[in-house]
Structure 1
Amino acid sequence: MAGAAATSQLLTATVVLAGAGVAGLVLFRRLGFGSVLGLLAVGMVIGPHGLGVLAGGEELRHVSEIGVVLLLYAIGLEMEPETLARLRRAVFGLGALQVAVTTAALAAVATLLGLDPRAAFVVAAGFALSSTAICVQLMEERGELYSERGRKAFAILLFQDLAVVPLLAVVPLLAGSGPELTADFGQRLGTTLLALALVLLAGRHLLPVLLDLTARERNMEAFTGIALLSAVLAAWVMDLAGLSTSLGAFLMGLLLSRTRYHHQLEAEIAPFKGILLGLFFIAVGMSIDVARILRDLSVLLPLLLLVVVKTGVIFALARAFGCGRADALGMGLLLAQGGEFAFVLFGTALAHGILGETLYGRAVLLISLSMMATPLLVRLGDRIAARLEPPRPPRPVEARIAELDGHVVICGFGRVGGTVGLMFDALGIPYVAIDQDPVRVEAMRREGHNILYGNATDPRILAAAGTGRAGLVLVTLDNPATAERVVTAVHNFFRDVPVIARARDLAVRERLLQAGAHEAVPEAVELAITLCSYALRHVGVSEAEVTELAGHLRERAFAILRSATATSRPSEATARAGAREPAAAS
């Protein structure tokens, strides 16, 4: 009977968490506030201080912290060691200064407000740290994690994780346990080095072998288990050593980023990461006592001081490290909250008698409130940044085209033309596109592309695209008749500019060459040759043989065409059918 009741409670809690979580995500995303604020709000509503539907927020937070572990593990998988090496100045320079200066500034404010110096230091150190879970999730949602600002913010978060050990070690010293701590220093150092060595050994040697074994046997269930085990194992080892669990997971992900399985590892843990991270945000929201805040609004004063002081420090340091005003302000407001590690630090200080029960409760409430305020602060930062550095109006397309010389003119910017444009963008090759789809033209212009609306068979449109100064005209239209007219127009009015055209088949290719194209690529032939080349490589044929055979196939196909066209010409019906096809860009 007791087992059935427990099962019923578990199912009820699952339904409430899942239903309320989805509702919060949909509503707040639609309102433009993002998922983090939505999940925090859900926790406030369903928690013991809201409707009281669920209790046990503290236990839920401890369990769901595995989501934070998986989040850092995924970031490690995406970040190569070389990238981390390039961040060392930001990690050990900007990150170290942020923790030190913010701690000093907040400690000074707390002392002036009447706190004991020891308690002031612990509270300041805890609030100098930020929430990795909230900051990284917000940066991922906004697409900023791998921007310059995102990398520097992540570097600060990474150093904050490194600062966990010394901060925990300082608490017993402040409590008067210095001699014991000094005597135990060697053991703690040895434990730390051993934990790092175990993570390194597992990530470099043991886990890659296990991943190879399960992948060869196509045992995807075991592969998923190893993906989760690798993240949780690193966190567990680091936790036993008194280090940051998130740091351990990040290091493990970084080690496995060199394996060929890193994309699949990330895919395997993604569902678990999303669910557990969502539960973590809900659990944080459940700890916020709204009624208490409304009874005593003075608790909001420390929140205001925290945001102002921490944002000011980070803004000044980020500016010193080369960030613009908008980026520096954005980083400051993003990192302004207290972090999840502060819960641990304040709990340790409470156990050693440095913090009293009342101060501990207010500090924990302030952490939760600051987390809740972060999405709103980030949106505020966006508005202020727009005033600090208003975006420059884009230069007219015509002005940009007038400065081009030796560029490529792409006639048709659909699937084929757009793909060619992407390749040109990657290589830095300037081009101007011409297309007759107004929606596509408007969308591409908003993204900064040089694209004109018009009919590419019109010499005036070709002239507006700078065809007379172009180094090449590329015709990607899939309508044979329209493509032929474009080639003819270029040949008649811009005879010195070479033309390469897309052809549907060999017959169309011949017509385009006769119209003046320097080369025409038949889709059917090239697709067949490409498919054949991939198949030959797959069965072990050398690259040289594949290339030679592809050349022979092209020569043979063109020879067949020349032989066929020497004895017959395309029927008038075929020509009329081609002329009737609607113009299309592809």
Structure 2
Amino acid sequence: MSAAAESGISIIQVVSLLGAAVVAVPLFKRLGLGSVLGYLAAGLAIGPFGLGLFSDGHTILHVAELGVVIFLFVIGLEMKPSHLWHLRKQIFGLGSMQVVVAAILLTIVGMLFGFSWQISFIAASGFVLTSTAIVMSVLGERGEIDSPGGQKIVSILLFEDLLIVPLLAIVAFLSPHHTESSQPVWQSIGIALGCVAVLVAAGRWLLNPLFRLLARSQAREVMTAAALLVVLGAGVLMEKGGLSMAMGAFLAGVMLSESHFRHQLEADVEPFRGLLLGLFFLAVGMSLDLNVVARNWPLIVSSVLALMAAKAVCIYLVARLAKSNHEEALERAVLMAQGGEFAFVLFTAATLQGVISDTNTANMTAIVVLSMVLTPLFMILHGKLPKKAAAEREADKIDERHAILQVGFGRFGQIVYYILNAAGYSITIIDKDEKTVAGMNKYGVKTYFGDASRPELLRTAGIEKAAVLVVAIDDPEQILQIVEFAREANPNIKIVARAYDRIHTFKLFQADADEIVRETFDSGIRAGKRALEMLGLPHETAEKAGDLFFRMDRNGMHKMAVLYNPELESFANQAMLEEGLRQDRLIAEAVQALLRGEEEIDESV
């Protein structure tokens, strides 16, 4: 008998799991229904109430929860401790507000259905814990995890994970078997904090030396094993301390976010993350007990709709109180209105403690699973609703200010960024293209959305204390506005500005930009050098000729800029035209002298 069979899962079942995912997920994505709904439908199809290839979806669910654990480890790798510190108000402010208000409201809903306050509270507490797997999967597919809205959602999810300890303590307190000999709440919290301290200490003083040592062995499989060891070890430590495995994995990721091995670790665990997360959604689909739904369908269906509606209303109101606009608040309400995977842990503990009955647990589990199944459908319906003329998106809140401020992150700005980043400099980046901002944040480059031609945004970004400003957008008028304001707000700042053409260069010169870079000048010089080579000049000579032209043309631009008059058309300014013709003649004479081999060349223009 094979090892798989001995563990209760046959090879046929493994093949069916993979086959269901391979067939369903691409089909559902092709239909525009999303991968999450594809996994859920596939799980339902092969589960106990479909083809019956599996008799117990909950067993697989416990294994598949490792996908959520690894997912949060990867998220942690993207969050440096300093960034997490910036989110503290959102985690404990916004998170606590949403959780407390939702728990009270959902408890009232349960009592209106005729249940005792104890049962209603347990059901509400489980439903308050949003599905990290579903929400993070949707945000990941959209590339919105690092967006301001995405960061608010991540903050709320982190706070919900922190609630596991107090909720389990409350369950123990509500238990009819509760005695004074039970472990005190303060002791539970102390153990949890002790485990967090151990993990933080290991992250600061143990993990980096460990991975440095393993890297020297040059055994890729050992690095992968070590990465999984860190993820699962941190998860087990937190679980033993009464917290969730997901929280432990997240903290381990945060501890390694500034490590030189961050990208290697992410690459090592990525295949496991995707596979196990898919398996998690398959298991959720399998664990939907249709017998329970059939026996109690009026209660379950009405409870699902009532709880999701109440939670969505609560999330919307809290988001609006926190100054989110209507669209962002509604989007968050639809995305987070379901119960989560940690509800299963809470319901199991409540059953074992005698707080709720087995029947209550079955009904609550069905309600949570059904809410998770319905969420992707509601997201699709929300996406198809007619929208108001989209209000202009508000600029992102800039919470990291660096000595270098860069405006614009297109094809020009990216080159500037990567040179500065390679040299070890930190940069605050602003761009007003939403796709660029979302894409670069997904790629790992922190980018803020906003229109930098607005003075208040530049002030928020720290223009008054910045040392260098790089203006790399492609709108000539806005470049000029930004340079003029920057010089006024910070007379000592050094400004590197992108110029569209010669006239734009003259305007930027008058606006007192320190360095003006014509966007096609350098590439044009390179093209000219290659053309000279093709005409038979030696490579070295062509390079010298191009470099000479580069220096003389740049020097001459200053003299023309002094003569530039914005009130005159380009070809109506006789003095500037004459200076331009004089420079052309002098540059031609100098280049030809170089080609003749003359040693002394006058570069003055």
TM over 0.5: yes
Instruction: Identify if the C-alpha distance between structure 1 residues 297 and 390 changes in structure 2 by more than 3 Å, giving closer, same or farther.
Output: farther
Cα distance in 2 for residues equivalent to 1:480 and 1:225: 50
**1:321 alignment partner in structure 2:** 322
Alpha-carbon distance in structure 2 between the residues aligned to 1:204 and 1:141: 32
Question: 1:29 is matched with which residue?
Answer: 29
- Which residue of structure 2 aligns with residue 206 of structure 1? 206
- 1:308 lines up with 2:309 in the alignment: yes
Q: Deviations over 1:360-416 (max 9, x none)?
A: 1111011111111122222333345x62452569xxxxxxxxxxxxxxxxxxxxxxx
Note the alpha carbon deviations across 1:17-71, whole angstroms, 9 max, x for none.
Answer: 1121122221122222222111111101111111112333111111111111111
Distance, in Å, in 2 between the alignment partners of 1:19 and 1:100 is 42
Q: Quote how far apart the aligned CAs of 1:201 are.
A: 2.5
The answer as to 2:126 corresponding to 1:126 is yes
Partner of 1:218: 218
Deviation at 1:479, TM superposition (A): 9.3
**Map of 1:263 onto structure 2:** 263
For the 8 Å contact 2:175–2:354, the answer to whether it is kept is yes
* Equivalence for 2:151: 151
Relative to structure 1, the CA distance from residue 88 to residue 2 in structure 2 (aligned partners, 3 Å threshold; closer, same or farther) is closer
Structure 2 Cα separation of the partners of residues 482 and 216 of structure 1? 45
- 1:12/1:504 Cα in 2 relative to 1: closer, same or farther (>3 Å)? farther
Q: Give CA-to-partner distance per residue, 1:547-586, whole Å, 9 cap, x none.
A: xxxxxxxxxxxxxx97872069xxxxxxxxxxxxxxxxxx
Q: Within the alignment, does 1:468 sit opposite 2:503 as a pair?
A: yes
Alignment of 1:418-497 (within 5 A): 419-423=411-415, 468-471=503-506, 472=518, 474-475=520-521, 476=523, 480=527
| Aligned counterpart, 1:366 | 367
Q: Post-superposition shift, 1:480?
A: 4.7
Matched, 1:510 2:545: yes
Distance 1:291 1:214, change over 3 A: same
Q: Is the 8 A contact 1:58 1:287 kept in 2?
A: yes
Partner of 1:537: none
**For 1:142 and 1:301, how far apart are their aligned partners in 2?**
31
Residues 316 and 562 from structure 1, CA distance in 2 versus in 1: closer, same or farther, beyond 3 angstroms? same
Letter in 1 for 2:414: L
Worse-matched range after superposition: 126-135 or 294-303: 294-303
**Which whole-Å CA distance do the structure 1 matches of 2:550 and 2:172 have between them?**
87
Instruction: Give the Å deviation of 1:324.
Output: 1.0
Aligned partners of 1:467 and 1:473 also within 8 Å = no
Tell me, in whole angstroms, the C-alpha distance in 2 between the residues paired with 1:152 and 1:94.
Answer: 8
Tell me, yes or no, if the aligned pair for 2:91 and 2:158 is still in contact at 8 Å: yes
SS at match of 2:114: coil
Distance 1:30 1:112, change over 3 A: same
1:357 aligns with 358
Q: Secondary structure at the match of 1:180?
A: coil
Q: For structure 1, list consecutive stretches of 5 or more residues without a partner in the other structure.
A: 394-416, 431-447, 453-464, 485-502, 521-560, 569-586
Deviations 1:168-217 (A, max 9, x none): 01112112345436653454244223322321232222222211101122
Rounded Cα–Cα distance in structure 2 between residues aligned with 1:127 and 1:504: 71
Report the Cα distance in structure 2 between the residues aligned to 1:429 and 1:42, rounded to whole angstroms: 41
Instruction: Name the amino acid aligned to 1:358.
Output: T
Report the secondary structure of 1:387's partner residue.
Answer: coil
AA matched with 2:412: V
What CA distance in whole angstroms lies between the structure 1 residues aligned with 2:187 and 2:519? 72
Q: Which residue of 1 aligns with 2:347?
A: 346
Check the 8 A contact 1:37/1:372 in 2, yes or no: yes
State the Cα distance separating 1:130 from its structure 2 match: 0.4
Q: 1:108 to 1:264 in 2, by over 3 A?
A: same
Judged with a 3 Å threshold, the aligned counterparts in structure 2 of structure 1 residues 7 and 517 are, in CA distance, closer, same or farther, namely farther
Shift of 1:102: 0.5
> Could you tell me whether the CA contact under 8 Å between 1:325 and 1:388 is conserved in 2?
no
Match of 1:566 in 2: 596
Q: Distance in 1 between matches of 2:339 and 2:430?
A: 43
How many residues are matched?
Answer: 461
Read off the aligned partner of 2:358 and give its amino acid letter: E
Q: Which amino acid aligns with 2:122?
A: V
Report the alpha carbon displacement of residue 327 of structure 1 after superposing the two structures with TM.
Answer: 0.7
Matched with 2:494 is none
Is residue 70 of structure 1 aligned with residue 70 of structure 2?
yes
Secondary structure of 1:518's match?
A: helix
**TM-score w.r.t. length of structure 2:** 0.69
Give 1:168's aligned residue: 168
CA distance in structure 1 between the partners assigned to 2:272 and 2:59 by the alignment: 18
Measured after TM superposition, the shift of residue 323 of structure 1 is: 1.0
Q: Is 1:13 aligned with 2:43?
A: no
CA distance in 2: counterparts of 1:343 and 1:477, whole angstroms: 64
RMSD over aligned CA atoms reads: 3.7
1:292-307 matched pairs, under 5 angstroms: 293=293, 297-298=297-298, 299-307=300-308
Matches within 5 A, 1:162-201: 162-180=162-180, 184-201=184-201
The letter for the 2-side match of 1:474 is T
8 Å CA contact 1:480, 1:508 repeated in 2:
no
* Alignment partners' CA distance in 2, 1:344 and 1:274: 23
Q: Does 1:380 align with 2:378?
A: no
Residues 205 and 480 (structure 1 numbering): CA distance in 2 closer, same or farther, change over 3 Å? Answer: closer
Contact 1:330–1:382 (8 Å) recurs in 2: no
Give 1:26's aligned amino acid: P
Output the CA distance in 2 between the equivalents of 1:103 and 1:419: 48
The answer on whether the counterparts of 1:284 and 1:368 sit within 8 Å (CA) in structure 2 is: yes
Deviation at 1:119, TM superposition (A): 0.4
- How far, CA to CA, are the matches of 1:504 and 1:129 in structure 2? 67
Alpha-carbon distance in 2 for matches of 1:483, 1:383: 53
Partners of 2:316 and 2:332 within 8 A in 1: yes
| Equivalent position amino acid for 1:565 in 2 | L
- Structure with higher helix content: 1
CA contact (8 A) 2:192 2:243 kept: yes
What corresponds to 1:337 in structure 2? 338
The residue type equivalent to 2:542 in the other structure is A
Task: Sort the Cα spacing of 1:160 and 1:29 in 2 relative to 1 into closer, same or farther, 3 A.
Answer: same
Cα deviation for residue 351 of structure 1 reads: 1.8
Hey, which bits of structure 1, 4+ residues long, moved more than 6 A?
2-5, 424-430, 481-484, 511-517, 561-564
**What is the SS of the residue equivalent to 1:230?**
helix
Query: Which residue pairs with 1:460 in the alignment?
Result: none
Task: Verify the 8 A CA contact 1:338 1:371 in the aligned structure 2.
Answer: yes
Q: Residues 167 and 62 from structure 1, CA distance in 2 versus in 1: closer, same or farther, beyond 3 angstroms?
A: same
Which one-letter code corresponds to 1:302 in the other structure?
S
Alpha-carbon separation, structure 1, partners of 2:379 and 2:552: 54
1:456-494 per-residue CA deviation (whole Å, 9 max, x = no partner) reads xxxxxxxxx77534444624359957999xxxxxxxxxx
Counterpart amino acid of residue 337 in structure 2: A
Q: Give the distance between the partners of 1:506 and 1:300, measured in 2 at CA.
A: 81
Counterpart CA distance in 1 for 2:3 and 2:216 is 41
The 10-residue stretch of structure 1 (153-162 or 23-32) with the greater mean CA deviation from structure 2: 23-32
State the secondary structure of the residue aligned to 1:153. helix
Structure 1 CA distance for aligned equivalents of residues 126 and 375 of structure 2:
17
Decide whether aligned partners of structure 1 residues 418 and 187 sit closer, same or farther in structure 2, where only a CA change above 3 A counts. closer
Show the counterpart of 1:244. Answer: 244
Deviations 1:314-344 (A, max 9, x none): 1111111121111111111111110111001
Q: Would the aligned equivalents of 1:513 and 1:519 in 2 still touch at CA under 8 Å?
A: no
Cα separation, 1, equivalents of 2:505 and 2:214:
55
Amino acid at match of 2:342: F
